[in-house]
């Protein structure tokens, strides 16, 4: 009987080869892995690990607390002029940093925060929306376009747990007008502060105790000082009377104490307990408050009636302050007009960026603060607190008696006679941070008495009250029939920043400045420094040879009358020799530059080789070794 034979094409092997199974497995892995990657990138949020040196992308506990305790839904709109910044790589890099920080907060909020990113192209509704939202455009974009780079935020009505966002109406709107790369260290603070303020339903209450007429005089038609008007726009300002003050409400976010003079013990005790209970106090004292209307008396030679002090509380906090001393600073003397002439007044100081603490959020962005007859602070020998300067003098400062400044009021130039700089930076305003003891231990028997503060309690000290007055930072001017205030110093910003900073929650205050994302190429900079030294040496050689040649030509010049042709020939030879030497030195300069560029290029090639070739090769090699060892182990087991 004939056997039925099958064609080889239709023969089905009983056992698949090992290689076939491997190929099938790889194909199956690709078919499963690729759709999984696409799906996860589309619908799943990736877990991220912050491997940066200073944890740039990890939110601080203070920010996490603010985001987690949001009571109202917030809507954020990041405006960034993408097209206008195509030639500004630094700003584009910073925009990515801002966007990633916002996305971290949005991811943490679990739906409480909604973020939208818009490119406000010129003459569009988005551009008008950015301007209406409080953003400020910067010039200098591509083709002269304006650059918007800010954040507009609004608090929506309704509960955060509600999912219906269609009917919600914005109840409060705030904005960060422009993200300045110079403030990158405070980026997280600025955004967290915006979220915190949007979440507040009402203005934070602050208190003011002042012996100066900061609120004006309605009877005399005197307006409040400009700084008080600005505070009233942002805060619920309550004026407290020290004569009747027995207790400071613990809900008072900040207390401003301006020019304290002969305060009753009960008022001082109320302030003492307010600070120990965690309250935020800003003290403005002054050796000579020039807007103090108190008349001088005959017994005011050692302690002028226009001076102020807080001796009992300062002693308890470990603060050293002398109201009979004024800081002069000839390097920062403010230019004033007196009797029709212009002069520099060493007791009126124009503090610039060098005298402001660039690492503190309050003063980081300020450029100029004017003060007058200012005192200074120091720590007592037994102090347990830290004094963190906000404003300080230059090293050219000198401390003189207050009475000497008063005597020289008509001739400020006399203050420079026999001037001797102390070579010290005097602290004019500072944060006092530490654990404070009560200045009234004898009242320990009273109910609710606090003997000590919590750790890291804080008081702000300012040794000048004149900086609050209009004359040192604003002046009125009439524009189109309306009186406007022209700002020429940052005094008002300084006070607003102080109160704004202290009025936030403890979580907000815990957010400090961080490192920036810009990392310098230290090796490249070192190469440039070496090259600069070589260039400087060559330039000095060239200048010296140029001077020698000119001197030689001047020496040959008198001989021109009797030996004109010889002198001319010598001059030509000197000039030719100089030109040849100049060309040689210029060639050496170019060689140094070429060598520098070659070293930088070589460094770049090495970095590229490590990142592109060496590291992947090591990974592949480790994988091959691991696979070889597994295969060898499997064969040995057989």
Contacts of 266 by beta carbon, 8 Å cutoff, 6+ apart: 245, 246
Between 31 and 37, the higher pLDDT residue: 31
In a domain? residue 264: yes
Q: Which of 164, 179, 199 is the last residue of a domain?
A: 199
Q: Is the pLDDT at 49 greater than 90, yes or no? A: no
Kindly state whether residues 251 and 392 are assigned to the same domain. yes
Same domain flag for 173 and 210: no
* 29 within some domain: no
Look at residue 20 in the predicted model and tell me its pLDDT. Answer: 78
Q: What is the pLDDT of residue 624?
A: 80
Within 10 Å of residue 496's Cβ, how many Cβ atoms?
A: 18
Do the domain assignments include residue 461? yes
Q: Where are the alpha helices (DSSP H) in 390-520?
A: 402-407, 491-503, 506-509
Measured between alpha carbons, how far is 542 from 537 in angstroms, rounded to an integer?
A: 9
53 domain-assigned? no
Residue at which a domain ends, from 172, 199, 226: 199
**Average pLDDT value for the chain:** 82
Mean pLDDT highest for which of 9-23, 67-81, 618-632?
67-81
Tell me what pLDDT residue 533 has. 63
Helices (H), 520-563: 522-556
Tell whether 608 is covered by a domain. Answer: yes
Rounded to whole angstroms, the Cα distance separating 364 from 149 reads 19
Q: How far apart are CA 570 and CA 282, in angstroms?
A: 78
151 DSSP assignment: E
What letters, b where the CB count within 10 A reaches 16 and e where it falls short, cover 88-101? beebeebbebbeeb
- Higher pLDDT: 166 or 390? It is 390
> Which pLDDT value is given to residue 200?
86
Query: Is the pTM above the cut of 0.85?
Result: no
pLDDT tens digits, 428-485: 999 999 999 999 999 999 999 999 998 889 999 999 999 999 999 998 877 656 667 7
Model confidence at 397, pLDDT cuts 50, 70, 90, reads very high
For residue 633, the model assigns a pLDDT of 75
Q: Is the dihedral of CA 332, 337, 338, 340 positive or negative?
A: positive
Is residue 131 located within the same domain as residue 236?
Answer: no
Report which of 330, 311, 300, 185 is spatially closest to residue 260, judged by C-alpha positions.
311
Gyration radius of the chain over CA positions: 36
398 shares a domain with 417: yes
Of 182, 199, 216, the domain-final residue: 199
Asked whether 377 and 320 are in contact (CB, 8 A), the reply is: yes
Q: Say yes or no: 496 and 414 in one domain.
A: yes
Cα dist from 324 to 46, 426, 467, whole Å: 63, 15, 19
Q: How far apart are CA 306 and CA 303, in angstroms?
A: 8
Residue 561, pLDDT score:
46
Q: Inform me whether the pLDDT recorded for 115 exceeds 50.
A: yes
* pLDDT the model gives residue 140: 83
Residue 266 phi/psi, 5° resolution? -65, -40
Q: What is the pLDDT of residue 417?
A: 92
Query: Could you tell me if 209 and 474 are in contact, meaning their C-beta atoms sit under 8 angstroms apart?
Result: no
Place of tokens 């090769």: 617
Asked if residue 500 belongs to a domain, the reply is: yes
Look at residue 10 and tell me whether its pLDDT is greater than 70.
Answer: no
Give the pLDDT confidence of 612-626 residue by residue, as tens digits: 777 788 888 887 887
Distances (CA, A) of 486 to 177, 178, 468, 470, 492: 20, 21, 15, 10, 12
Note the pLDDT of residue 389.
97
Residue 339 has pLDDT above 80, yes or no: no
Residue 301 has pLDDT above 50, yes or no: no
In this predicted structure, what is the pLDDT of residue 615?
77
**Are both 190 and 222 inside the same structural domain?**
no
Question: Are residue 312 and residue 440 in the same domain, yes or no?
Answer: yes
Q: Are residues 442 and 417 in the same domain?
A: yes
Looking at residues 239-251, what average pLDDT do you find? 95
Higher-pLDDT residue of 175, 619: 175
Lowest mean pLDDT among 20-29, 82-91, 283-292: 20-29
| Pair (340, 486) in one structural domain | yes
3-state class (DSSP) for residue 333: strand
- The pairing of beta strand 280-284 with beta strand 457-462: parallel
Residue 355: domain span: 205-292+302-509
Q: Is residue 4 part of a domain?
A: no
Quote the percentage of the chain above a pLDDT of 70: 75
The per-residue pLDDT for 342 is 86
User: pLDDT value at position 564?
Assistant: 46
Cβ atoms within 10 Å, residue 81: 27
d(CA 246, CA 77): 46
Mean pLDDT of 67-89: 91
- Does residue 382 sit in the same domain as residue 479? yes
CATH number at residue 123: 3.40.30
- Dihedral of alpha carbons 410, 412, 418, 424, sign: positive
**395: pLDDT strictly greater than 50:** yes
Whether 320 and 220 map to the same domain: the answer is: yes
Cα dihedral across residues 153, 159, 162, 168: positive or negative? negative
What pLDDT was estimated at residue 422?
93
Among 111-120, 158-167, 479-488, which is the least confidently predicted range? 158-167
Does residue 409 share a domain with residue 355?
Answer: yes
* pLDDT, tens only, 506-539: 777 677 555 455 555 565 556 556 656 665 566 5
Quote the number of domains for the chain: 3
Q: Do the Cβ atoms of 73 and 160 come closer than 8 Å?
A: yes
Tokens of 140: 């200098």
Asked whether the beta carbons of 584 and 511 are under 8 A apart, the reply is no
In a domain, 469, yes or no: yes
Question: For position 519, what pLDDT does the model report?
Answer: 52
């Amino acid at each position: 009987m004939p056997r039925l034979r099958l064609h080889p094409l239709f023969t089905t092997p009983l056992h698949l080869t090992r290689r076939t199974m491997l190929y099938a497995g790889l194909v199956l892995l690709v078919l499963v892995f690729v759709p999984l990657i696409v799906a996860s990138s589309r619908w799943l949020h990736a877990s991220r690990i912050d491997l940066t040196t200073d944890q740039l992308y990890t939110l601080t506990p203070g920010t996490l607390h603010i985001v987690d305790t949001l009571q109202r839904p917030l809507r954020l709109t990041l405006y960034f002029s993408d097209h206008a910044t195509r030639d500004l790589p630094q700003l584009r890099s910073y925009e990515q940093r801002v966007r990633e920080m916002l996305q971290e907060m949005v991811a943490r909020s679990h739906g409480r925060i909604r973020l939208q990113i818009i490119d406000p192209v010129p003459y569009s509704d988005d551009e008008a929306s950015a301007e209406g939202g409080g953003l400020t455009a910067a010039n200098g974009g591509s083709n002269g376009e304006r650059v918007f780079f800010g954040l507009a935020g609004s608090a929506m009505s309704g509960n955060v747990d509600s999912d219906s966002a269609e009917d919600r109406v914005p109840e409060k709107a705030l904005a960060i007008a422009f993200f300045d790369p110079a403030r990158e260290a405070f980026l997280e603070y600025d955004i967290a502060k915006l979220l915190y303020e949007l979440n507040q339903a009402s203005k934070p209450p602050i208190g003011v105790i002042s012996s100066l007429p900061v609120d004006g005089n309605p009877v005399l038609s005197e307006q409040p000082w400009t700084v008080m008007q600005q505070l009233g726009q942002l805060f619920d300002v309550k004026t407290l009377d020290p004569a009747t003050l027995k207790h400071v409400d613990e809900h008072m976010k900040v207390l401003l104490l301006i020019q304290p003079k002969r305060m009753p013990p009960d008022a001082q005790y109320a302030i003492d307990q307010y600070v120990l209970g965690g309250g935020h106090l800003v003290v403005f004292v002054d050796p000579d408050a020039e807007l103090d209307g108190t008349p001088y008396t005959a017994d005011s030679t050692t302690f002028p009636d226009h001076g102020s002090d807080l001796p009992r509380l300062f002693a308890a906090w470990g603060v050293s302050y002398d109201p009979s001393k004024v800081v002069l600073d000839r390097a920062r003397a403010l230019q004033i007009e007196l009797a029709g002439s212009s002069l520099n007044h060493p007791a009126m100081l124009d503090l610039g960026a060098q005298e402001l603490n660039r690492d503190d959020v309050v003063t980081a962005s300020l450029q100029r603060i004017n003060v007058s007859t200012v005192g200074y602070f120091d720590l007592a020998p037994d102090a347990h607190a830290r004094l963190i300067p906000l404003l300080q003098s230059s090293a050219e400062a000198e401390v003189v008696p207050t009475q000497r400044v008063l005597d020289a009021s008509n001739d400020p130039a006399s203050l420079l006679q026999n001037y001797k700089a102390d070579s010290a930076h005097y602290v004019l305003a500072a944060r006092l941070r530490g654990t404070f003891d009560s200045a009234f231990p004898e009242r320990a028997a009273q109910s609710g008495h606090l003997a000590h503060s919590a750790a890291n309690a804080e008081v702000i000290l300012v040794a000048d009250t004149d900086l609050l007055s209009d004359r040192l930072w604003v002046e009125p001017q009439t524009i189109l029939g309306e009186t406007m205030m022209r700002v020429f110093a940052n005094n008002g910003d300084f006070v607003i920043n102080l109160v704004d900073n202290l009025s936030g929650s403890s979580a907000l205050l815990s957010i400090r400045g961080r490192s920036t994302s810009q990392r310098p190429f230290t090796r490249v900079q070192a190469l440039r420094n070496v090259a600069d030294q070589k260039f400087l040496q060559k330039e000095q050689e060239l200048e010296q040879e140029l001077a020698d040649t000119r001197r030689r030509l001047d020496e040959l010049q008198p001989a021109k009358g009797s030996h004109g042709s010889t002198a001319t020939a010598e001059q030509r030879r000197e000039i030719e020799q100089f030109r040849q030497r100049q060309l040689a030195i210029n060639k050496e300069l170019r060689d140094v530059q070429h060598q520098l560029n070659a070293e930088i290029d070589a460094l770049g090639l090495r970095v590229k080789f490590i990142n592109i070739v060496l590291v992947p090769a090591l990974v592949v090699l480790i994988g091959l070794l691991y696979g070889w060892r597994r295969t060898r182990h499997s064969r040995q087991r057989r």
